[in-house]
Structure 1
Amino acid sequence: MHISFYGAAQAVTGSCFLIEAHGCNFLLDCGMAQGGQEADAHNENAFAFDVSSIDFVVLTHAHIDHSGLLPKLVAQGFKGPIYTTLATQDLLEVLLKDSAHIQIMDAERAARRKREGKKHERDVLPPLYSLAHVARTLELVKAKPYGKKFEVHPSVQVRFQDAGHILGSAIVELWLRDAHGRTQKLVSSGDLGQPGRVILRDPTPVQEADVLLIESTYGDRLHKDNASTLNELVDIVTRTVPHGNVVIPAFAVGRTQELLYHFIDLMQQGRLPPVEIFVDSPMAVAATEITMHHFAVFDEEAKQLMGTARQLPDVQHVHFIQDVEESIKLNRIKSGAVIISASGMCDAGRVLHHLRNNIGRPECAVVICGFQSYGSLGRRLVDGVKQVRMFGEQIDVRASVHTLGGFSAHADQKALLDWAGAFQPAPRHTYVVHGEPQAAQALAKELRSQHGHTVTVPTLGERFALQGLSANGS
């Protein structure tokens, strides 16, 4: 048995791991790389394996960097089942359709600019897949509840546990049986959430594994505590809205719902003035509705607050923007607005228009509250660039740019180490993935020193034998 790393190896995005088990081959995630030309090239060139050899896919959650290449896999002939959680099944329809739509729109815009003889920063590649491929992908999804072990092949059993990252996110437990009847247990953290966060429950501790795959997005740093993060948000908003707008690029799934929770709570407490909040992302609106349908997975604090605001579109001062005309009208607002819009890394979607209209105004603010991949516009803003190119024009960055890492949906270094410390004894081998090199190596060092793990930080395309078979794979 072997595992190969075809994505998220010394990089945060593009999750894709090929596991060769006894009698079958399967993928753990099939995600899109994000962040600039290198990511585009990676997505265009995937896959570096024989698609016809893949029997099934096990999907940790719906975020595009974990699921976004599933329709391409289907376009190239994959017809097997895709196993995931119940909430992820609901979210996939929204996210994959949006992904296809963005690719189609980008290609059409690039073709139009070329016909008009206009220059642009880089060529846009043809869409990786169509809406028809998305429809075929969704037909293959088989949803399973948390906490129930199920068989996907005579040699493979699976169980999903709550990862606390976004709605439906899962830690994956895999039991792999070899030709001699011996079993080893492989655990993938997927993306782990930060404990103590609102809405979702904390990540489920897992105590036994022979092999561990653990994410390391924030493997080299700690998040600010929740109180400090909220204080900073209150300060930014109260200083900005009398004269300008606050633009928050936010992932439509997870981050937007958490921000709404905090804004409602802060206004109910009187810590924020009654600012007008505009959620300008059809995908975020759909994801919010799906989130409310899965009320059972909320933590108790969120159930209490959101129970008083189940119909979010009716909450005073919160406005959900659906059509393009409504979105364009937001351009007329010069002050007093908080605009939450996708995409979270500022590389596509309606947020680009809001940035173009506000980023050149010193009275406005941009709040970055999630991880920004290398090469993305969001990363360049975080790094302090003075000019950005948007829609073919150069724009000076005059708005203040703030990074609120405390809102991250990813566990920080301490939370990752605490979760890994639950394994008793330590896994026989640990692979650190989903992190840029510095973050991955920092987490690997701490796993070795604090918990005695034998650790590898794999590179893209590396293949390893799954060693350390146990007698019963408990």
Structure 2
Amino acid sequence: MNIQFCGAAKMVTGSNILIETKKYKILVDCGMFQGSKKVEAMNFEEFPYNPSEIDYLILTHAHIDHSGRIPKLVKEGFRGRILSTKPTYDLCKIMLLDSAKIQEADVEWENRKRQRAGKKPIEPLYTMDEAEFSLRFFEDYLYEQMIIINEDIRLRFKDAGHVLGSAIVELWIKEDGETLKLVFSGDLGLPNKPIINNPEYIDEADYLIVESTYGDTIHEGLGESTEKLIDIINKTVLRGGTVIIPSFAVGRTQELIYELNKYYEYNQEIEEHMRIPIYVDSPMAVEATNAFQANSSSFDDEAKNLILKGDNPFVFLNLRYVKDQKESMALNKYTFPKVIISSSGMATGGRVRHHLKHNLWDERNSLVFVGYQAEGTLGRIILNGAKRVKILGEEVAVKAEIYDLEGLSGHADQIMLLDWIRKIKSKPQKIFIVHGEAESAKALSEKIEEEFKIETIIPNIHDKFVMEKQTIELSESVPVESIHLKQDINAELENIYSQLQSLNMRKDKLIDPELLEREYDILKNILIELQQNLMDLNIMVGK
């Protein structure tokens, strides 16, 4: 059995791993390369395998650096099965189409220049139609389900706590009578993040493939970063400025809205002039927020409890969702203090570049980064201290105050990554370190080898390795005592009971005429599915 690293090797983007057995070819992720022009040109290179020969693609989550080349894969012949969690599929329906729209727009602009220069036109990486077609191959599953792919391959998704639907992949592959267990961390989140659950732990692995985005970094606490963000906003307001927050449309934006909702909704001491408008200026972020609301069953307990009490955490009085371009352009003409949350998160494209062009030069304003900035991106260039940058063809002075709040990052830091490995009961025989720049991966590698005495490998792109079982017997699952199984099912039953109680207390809202007129079919379908699931449970326990 071979493993080949076709992306995110000594870099953070382009996640793409190939597993080859005698009978099957399996991909884990098929992400887009993001960053400098040189890095992004890698998206147009041929895959180092034949897409038509790939049987399965397992997707850890929806972010474009993990999913963005799926339409290209399908365009070039892939006709296998794509397996993901349901929220990941829902988000990919938004993100892949948005990515295709950007590809088409960029190529249209480039071809106008090429036409004037007498050059041949170029084609986009993929089109909207090709992105739409690729979605037909998705199959969505729930966390903790044991998915029997075939007689030789089993799969389970566990919550990675990075973004809605993000998954750790446990993959069991049988070959020549032996079963090898591979675990892919995907992108691991930090504990106690808003909305989503903490990353889950695994019990055992033969081989572990782990991310290292912040393998050399220790984040400040989330609470500390949130307090800093509020402080930055308030200071900027008092000097009459605007706060610009480049934010990933999926995940980070919703987390920011959630935290700001808690501050503005529940803090009665805020003076009225300090309740400035918060603009979410990203069509995709608006759609993604709707997808979040459609997957509230995947939220953490705090977010669920807010919803059960009747509070929608994605709505508060001074929050505005900007949908059309005209309103977006008008934001830069408003002179009053405000916060603009806009994508893209690394400032490589999207509406945020227009806001930076109009605000970066003004020392009253603040620019706040809340996520990883890849090498070569505008975000990294500004963070590295550039005094002037080129934005949309114009040179702009960097005079706004610049902040980097790593505690709001969606990625685990070195402490969390080591703790996650520490919790593995039966340790892997080898660990591959990916999804991190060389320095970050090296720092994590040294820490792992020092503490766990496990061989680590930091692959180069396209490196291929043979995997085989070195121990005679490694249990595929650590036995769980019956009492723990009972506690697990009881906890699930209690959750169902409390949710039904909450609905019963608010059933008048379910039959509100306005809601029925707007959402009758969706409401009816949910209730039918709920009844079916309850009947299935009753049959299961019936005599």
Aligned residue identity for 2:189: G
2:208 match: secondary structure: strand
Aligned to 2:148: 151
1:171 corresponds to 2:192? no
Tell me what 1:120 maps to: none
Task: Provide the rounded CA distance (Å) in 1 between the counterparts of 2:170 and 2:210.
Answer: 12
1:419-471 deviation digits (Å, cap 9, x = unpaired): 11111232011001000001101111111112222111111010000122554
Q: Is the 1:312–1:318 Cα contact (8 Å) retained in structure 2?
A: no
Residue 172 of structure 1 and its aligned partner are, at CA, apart by 0.2
Report the CA distance shift for 1:212/1:188 in structure 2 as closer, same or farther (over 3 A): same
The 5-angstrom pairing of residues 6-155 of structure 1 reads: 6-113=6-113, 126-155=123-152
- 1:332 is paired with a residue whose SS is coil
Structure 1, unmatched stretches of 5+, are 118-122
For 1:351-370, list aligned pairs within 5 A.
Answer: 351-370=352-371
Whether the 8 Å CA contact 1:313–1:319 is kept in 2: the answer is: no
Name the SS of the counterpart of 1:221 in structure 2. coil
Residue 241 of structure 1, CA deviation: 1.9
Among candidates 216, 232, 251, match of residue 236 of structure 1? 232
Aligned partner (choices 218, 227, 231) of residue 222 of structure 1: 218
Paired residue type of 1:45: E
Equivalent residue, structure 1, for 2:242: 245
1:201-254 per-position Cα deviation (integer Å, ceiling 9, x unaligned):
111100100000000000001111123212211221111123110010000111
* Alpha-carbon distance, 1:327 to partner: 1.0
For the residue of structure 2 that corresponds to 1:27, the secondary structure is: strand
| Alpha-carbon distance in 1 for matches of 2:386, 2:306 | 39
1:10 corresponds to which letter in structure 2?
A: K
1:254-280, CA deviations, whole angstroms, 9 ceiling, x for partnerless residues? Answer: 100100011111122257631210001
* 2:438 is the alignment partner of 1:440: no
Task: Tell me if structure 1 keeps the 8 A contact 2:202–2:424.
Answer: yes
Q: Which amino acid aligns with 1:172?
A: V
Tell me, yes or no, if structure 1 residue 266 matches structure 2 residue 267: no
Unaligned runs of 5+ in 2: 478-543
Letter in 1 for 2:322: I
Determine the C-alpha separation between the residues in 2 that align with 1:187 and 1:224: 28
- 8 Å contact 2:261–2:313 — kept in the other structure? no
Distance 1:193 1:43 in 2: 26
Worse overlay, 442-451 or 305-314 = 305-314
**What secondary structure, in the 3-state scheme, does the structure 1 residue paired with 2:187 have?**
coil
Deviation by residue 1:299-347 (Cα, 9 ceiling, x = unmatched): 1222234556755675200001111111111121223110001110101
TM-score (norm 2): 0.83
Structure 2 distance, partners of 1:202, 1:255, is 15
1:454 alignment partner AA: E
Q: Which protein has the bigger helix share? A: 2
Distance 1:327 1:427 in 2: 50
User: Aligned pair in 2 of structure 1 residues 334, 126: CA closer, same or farther (>3 Å)?
Assistant: farther
| TM-score (normalised: structure 1) | 0.95
Aligned partner letter, 1:374: E
1:75-474 pair list within 5 angstroms = 75-113=75-113, 126-178=123-175, 180-242=176-238, 243-267=240-264, 268-270=266-268, 273-307=274-308, 311=312, 315-468=316-469, 471=473, 473-474=476-477
What amino acid does structure 2 have at the position aligned with 1:338? V
Q: Partners of 1:454 and 1:421 in 2: how far apart? A: 15
Q: Give me the CA root mean square deviation.
A: 1.8
1:149–1:159 CA contact under 8 A, matched in 2: yes
Q: Name whichever of 274-283 and 461-470 sits farther off.
A: 461-470
Residue 256 of structure 2 aligns with an amino acid whose one-letter code is L
| Matched-pair contact (CA < 8 Å) for 2:190–2:412 | yes
Structure 2 residue matching 1:264: 3-state secondary structure? helix
Is the alpha carbon distance of 1:271 and 1:430 closer, same or farther for their aligned partners in structure 2, counting shifts above 3 Å? Answer: farther
Q: Report the alpha carbon displacement of residue 40 of structure 1 after superposing the two structures with TM.
A: 1.6
Query: Is this contact kept in 2: 1:265–1:305, CA < 8 A?
Result: no
Higher RCO (C-alpha 8 Å, min separation 6): 1
Once residues 379 and 413 of structure 1 are traced to their aligned partners in structure 2, the CA distance between those partners, rounded to angstroms, is 21
Distance, in Å, in 1 between the alignment partners of 2:81 and 2:308 is 36
Give CA-to-partner distance per residue, 1:134-168, whole Å, 9 cap, x none.
Answer: 11110000001110111223321111000000000
Aligned-pair CA distance for 1:400: 1.1
Contact between 1:331 and 1:354, CA under 8 Å: does it hold in 2?
yes
Query: Which structure is larger by alpha-carbon Rg, 1 or 2?
Result: 2
Shift of 1:115: 5.7
Q: CA distance change for structure 1 residues 111 and 420 in 2, over 3 Å: closer, same or farther?
A: same
Q: Percent identity between the aligned chains? A: 41
Q: Which deviations, in whole Å up to 9, do the C-alpha atoms of 1:402-422 show, x marking residues without a partner?
A: 100000000011101111111
Higher mean C-alpha displacement, 444-453 vs 5-14? 444-453
Q: CA deviation at 1:387?
A: 1.1
Tell me the CA shift for residue 61 of structure 1.
Answer: 0.4
- For the 8 Å contact 1:21–1:155, the answer to whether it is kept is no
Residues 154-190 of structure 1: per-residue CA shift (max 9 Å, x gap): 3211110000000000000000101x21101000000
Mapped to 2, the partners of 1:364 and 1:166 lie a distance apart of: 29
Cα 1:28–1:313 shift into 2, 3 Å: closer
When residues 348 and 125 of structure 1 are mapped into structure 2, their CA distance, relative to the original with a 3 A threshold, is farther
Change (3 A) 1:271 1:410: farther
One-letter amino acid of the structure 1 residue matched with residue 26 of structure 2: F
- Taking the aligned partners of 2:121 and 2:62, their CA distance within structure 1 comes to 24
Asked if structure 2 preserves the Cα contact closer than 8 Å seen for 1:234 and 1:271, the reply is no
Q: Answer whether contact 1:292 1:310 (CA < 8 A) is retained.
A: no
In 1, the alpha carbon distance for the partners of 2:280 and 2:194 equals 19
Aligned AA for 1:435? G
- For 2:126, give the aligned amino acid: Y
Task: Give the letter for the 1:54 counterpart.
Answer: I
